[in-house]
Amino acid sequence: MTRLILASASPRRRELLGQLGVRFDVITADVVEHEDVTTDPRVMVSRNAALKADWVAARHPDAIVLGADTTVFIDGHSLNKPRDGVEARVMLRRLSGRTHTVHTGLAVRRSRDGLALEAGESSEVRFKDLDEAVIEAYLARVHTLDKAGGYAIQEHPELIIDGYTGSLSNIVGLPLETTKQILTRCGLTP
């Protein structure tokens, strides 16, 4: 049986991948992600997903390794994970009343035979107009420091989200339909 490894520390990705019904292990890649906010976001997430998958695949050559990376993109810049509450507030203010794009890159690797597949997904999210009281209420309810853009669409969306187009699971951090397709191409049938 082929072993599948998710190269991600994200509990959201773990939960989403579990919804596909495939068995997998989790091994976090010990890498420094590329987070230059001026880099094309699709290139950045693709590069980071590959970096994670390559690192884990080099240590587990017989396994199929799935790496993923997600960013929020607005005004020509990526909003990655906020460093602190101050930066999370700045991000939420910037997203307020506007539409932004969420990009996720996927990379699948198996070192033994050089398997290397990549895919990407983009979705759009519309934010409500947020005043300071709503921002504070949201931050009091949701831990945002480990989330691109400083928010989680799946946690208290009624406070901040006006709507979205595209894949909801992509916005959360792992586009399930695209992930299912790429795993099927590798011979893993969810």
Please give the positions annotated as active site: 69
Measure Cα distances from 137 to 86, 132, 172 in Å: 14, 9, 20
Q: Which residues of 76-109 are buried (b: 16+ CB within 10 A; e: fewer)?
A: eebbbbbeeeebbbebbebbeeeebbbbbbbbbb
How many whole angstroms from its chain centre is CA 50?
A: 13
Q: Shortest CA distance to 160 belongs to which of 105, 84, 93?
A: 93
